[in-house]
Each structure stands twice: as C-alpha cells, then as structure tokens.
Amino acid sequence: MKFKKLIIASSIIASSLVAQMAVAADTIKVGVLHSLSGTMAISETTLKDTVLMMIEQQNKAGGLLGKKLEAVVVDPASNWPLFAEKTRELLAKEKVDVIFGCWTSVSRKSALPVLEELNGLLFYPVQYEGEESSKNVFYTGAAPNQQAIPAVDYLMDEMGATRWVLAGTDYVYPRTTNKILESYLKSKGVKDEDIMINYTPFGHSDWQGIVSSIKKFGSEGKKTAVVSTINGDANIPFYKELGNQGISAEDIPVVAFSVGEEELSGFDAKPLVGHLAAWNYFQSVESDENEAFIEAWQSYIGDEKRVTNDPMEATYIGFKMWAKAVEKAGTTKVSAVEQAMIGIAVPNLTGGIAVMNANHHLSKPVLIGEIQDDGQFEVVSETPGTVIGDAWSDYLPSSQNLISDWTAPVNCGNFDVKTAKCSGQKF
C-alpha cells in the first residue's frame, strides 16, 4: 500500500510539473531590465511601469500568437555590472523572448556581450551617443543627429550662442556625445577657448563651485549656452543651484538631453522657465495618439497628475513594433523577429509615423522644448519631417566612413564604405 501511495504521489508531482511547463509554454515572456533603486530609479521606474502597461493592453487585445504575455521584472539597482548578470538571468534562467530596458549607455554596454552571446533581443528606449550597432539591439531613443546636433544648431542659429559649456555625468554617453559635439562646434569655427567641458559623478550634489565657474565663463562678453548631458537625480541640485546663483535662461540658456517631464516633476520649475530640452516627444504635443496615451497612462497608474516623457514614447514605439514584428514573423525567435522588424512602421505620439530602419534606428522628429512654470514644455522648434537615426557619427574620424545595415548584402553593424569590409559583428 505504501509503495502504491508513493507511485500515486510521484504521478501527481509529475503531472503538476508537466502542467506548469505547459502553462509556461503558453506564455510569451517579456523581460523588464530597469533600475528600480539607486541613482537612476528617478528615471527608470516609470519605464518599467510603461512596459507593464503595454503588456496589460496587449493581453486585453488577445495577446500575441494566441498566447498571453508575462512580465519578468528584475532590478539592476543602478549597478552597471549587475545589468550583465540580470540580462543573463532573464535569458538563460527565465527564458524571456525579448527584453525592454537599460537607460545609461554603460548599462547597455554591460548587457550587450550577454545579449550577443545568448542571442537575446533588447529594445533600448533612451537617447545615446551612437557609435554602436548590434543585431541584438533596437535603438528606439535618439542618436546624436536626432538630438544633440539639432540642439546645438538651435542655440547657435536662434539664440546666437558662440561660447559653449558641455556639462555631463562622467560615463560613456556624455563623453562620447561631447566628443562629437566638440568636433562639430570646431567644424563651425568655434575655438578651443570658447568650449568648456566638465564631468561629475553619478548622484553629484554639490554644484556651487561648478555653477560659479559656468557663470564666470559666461560673463566674458560672448553669448554662452550650456549643453547638459547630466543624468539621473544629479539634475535636481544642478538646476536648483542655477536658480540659487540667479542664472536665468536669458543669461545662459541650458539645453538638456536627459531632463524631461518626469525629472521636472521633482521640484519647483519656476526658476527654470526658458531653459530648454531636446527630445523627440513632449507631453504637451497635441495629437489624437498622444491624448489617448496620456489618458491610458494616468488611468493605469491611478494618478491623473502623472506625466509622460520621451523615453516612455520610445518604449511605446518599441513595444508596438516588436508586437507587430512577432505577428509578421509568426514566432518570437530572435533571428526571425530581428529581420521582420526592419521596415515596420507604427504611429508615434506626435502625430507622425515611426519607421524602423535597416541600421536598427528609428526615423524620428526632433523637437526643442522650453520649460514652463508647470513643468511642461512649449515646443519652440521642430523638424519639418522625421530624421533617420545615424548609428555612426559623421564628425568623428574613426566612424565617418562607417554605416550600419542589417539587411543583405551588407548584414553588418559597422561596414566601412571605403574598404568595403565589416569590422565587427555580422549577421
């Protein structure tokens, strides 16, 4: 009798395991790789919630390929090496079909070798420095030619800036972006003595000395502008110190690449009125798509005062494109979805159409917004159409001959048009 009971118990356990495996096979796992703690949580937590909202909406619409989507959320905690570990966990242990995540370039570059080793797929939703193209990543944020270069052009042409402060957080995105901008400014005739470059660590809080230096640099008779690649919660004390020292947008305008509605919601925006940000989306843009998105977001989060921002739109676009590519490919297999993604078009939230190009970058409009006292932005400049993201800058000698094209016959992320050779990852 005991032996019989053991056999029955074993059968029940085996049946349970089979049932669990069947349930798992009937879901499509979506990895969410965003910092929910640490210095970048101020920006990334919202993107985690955006992905969860998109998953909920997709499931209500019937899922994908007859299966429900299941979120697998991890917290790399603003710890850059941990992004690699968490990426491996998502791909090797959790067996996710796709990952939406990362904010800083150092976190993306930490995850990249694991993505390429295990053939994972990442949708990266934040502006970045370019100089990269992987078949395992779709870059739905802005490349430098979709944000940094147009911002400098605006300050130069519309505000008459001739002297420049390039202020950034000390990691790869600000350093590479500022290297591109320094080269671009010099190509426009700006001299070395009219460019000031400064870097601070993540979470930097004591801005008094640096802002004093900026103020002095801008008081020497030339129109000065600050181009900010400061990231994360360091932005709050930086802007507060600008106000403390009486630096207005009329005196020294600041254009930021990592400050949007979410960051401005953390403090009084009145002293910052007139300062600028360059993005591809602002909540204030009027379109039917944007109105529906804002309503859905505030309903999902349960707060009618919660704002939207550019990386949220990039997450939205990436998710919509991925879902469309999965349906097109008839599978979630990375190789099939990667090829199906190219040429996919979905409405963006500014009333236009986003297209995924062969270099894994989007076509996006470029908007310059001016900070208002309610923490929103008034659009003061907009490109007449969309701009194709450029993976490799034309202003760096090391990359000016490189292109990215993940379609035949090139099938390469860094193809040298002069030597006709691929010097990196191939398809």
Tell me what percent of the residues of the chain surpass a pLDDT of 90.
86
Q: Do residues 229 and 373 share a domain?
A: yes
CATH code for position 42: 3.40.50.2300
- Taking 90 as the threshold, does the pLDDT of residue 9 lie above it? no
Q: Judge whether 251 lies within some domain.
A: yes
Contact 342, 350 (CB under 8 A): no
pLDDT in tens, 41-71: 989 999 999 999 999 999 999 999 999 999 9
| Per-residue CA distances from 303 to 40, 295, 352 (Å) | 22, 10, 27
- In the listed set 363, 396, 422, which residue is the last one of a domain according to the structure? 363
Q: Judge whether 298 lies within some domain.
A: yes
- Taking 90 as the threshold, does the pLDDT of residue 75 lie above it? yes
According to DSSP H, which parts of 245-347 are helical?
261-264, 288-301, 310-329, 334-341
- Taking 70 as the threshold, does the pLDDT of residue 309 lie above it? yes
The half-sphere exposure of 69 on its side-chain side, counting CA atoms within 13 A, is: 27
Q: Judge whether 86 lies within some domain.
A: yes
- Taking 90 as the threshold, does the pLDDT of residue 2 lie above it? no
Q: Do residues 222 and 327 share a domain?
A: no
- Give the amino acid at 383: T
User: Average per-residue pLDDT in the chain?
Assistant: 93
Looking at residue 267, its pLDDT comes to: 74
Question: What is the band of 25 on the pLDDT scale with cuts at 50, 70, 90?
Answer: low
Handedness of CA 231, 235, 238, 243 (dihedral sign): positive
Q: Do residues 263 and 164 share a domain?
A: yes
Range of the domain at 378: 145-282+367-386
pLDDT in tens, 157-199: 999 999 999 999 999 999 999 999 999 999 999 999 999 999 9
Question: What is the band of 15 on the pLDDT scale with cuts at 50, 70, 90?
Answer: very low
Q: Do residues 96 and 191 share a domain?
A: no
Q: Is 78 exposed, middle or buried (0-12, 13-18, 19+ CB in 10 A)?
A: buried
Tokens representing 198 are: 């400064």
pLDDT-wise least confident of 12-26, 61-75, 234-248: 12-26
Q: Is 0.85 surpassed by the pTM of this model? A: yes
Question: What is the band of 216 on the pLDDT scale with cuts at 50, 70, 90?
Answer: very high
Report phi then psi at 255, rounded to 5.
-110, 125
Contact 129, 100 (CB under 8 A): no
DSSP state of 297: H
Q: Judge whether 394 lies within some domain.
A: no
Question: What is the band of 5 on the pLDDT scale with cuts at 50, 70, 90?
Answer: low
Q: Judge whether 234 lies within some domain.
A: yes
Looking at residue 425, its pLDDT comes to: 62
Average pLDDT over residues 338-350: 97
Q: Judge whether 391 lies within some domain.
A: no
Q: Do residues 373 and 237 share a domain?
A: yes
Q: Do residues 139 and 228 share a domain?
A: no
Q: Do residues 187 and 88 share a domain?
A: no
Q: Do residues 44 and 95 share a domain?
A: yes
Q: Which residues contact 247 (CB under 8 A, 6 or more apart)?
A: 211, 214, 215, 218
Contact 58, 64 (CB under 8 A): yes
pLDDT in tens, 240-287: 999 899 999 999 999 999 889 988 887 788 888 999 999 999 999 999
Q: Do residues 243 and 269 share a domain?
A: yes
Q: Judge whether 352 lies within some domain.
A: yes
Overall number of domains in the chain: 2
Q: Judge whether 5 lies within some domain.
A: no
Q: Do residues 60 and 196 share a domain?
A: no
- Taking 50 as the threshold, does the pLDDT of residue 18 lie above it? no
Q: Do residues 155 and 54 share a domain?
A: no
pLDDT in tens, 95-134: 999 999 999 999 999 999 999 999 999 999 999 999 999 9
Q: Do residues 58 and 179 share a domain?
A: no
Tell me what percent of the residues of the chain surpass a pLDDT of 70.
93
Length of the chain measured in residues:
427
Question: What is the band of 21 on the pLDDT scale with cuts at 50, 70, 90?
Answer: very low
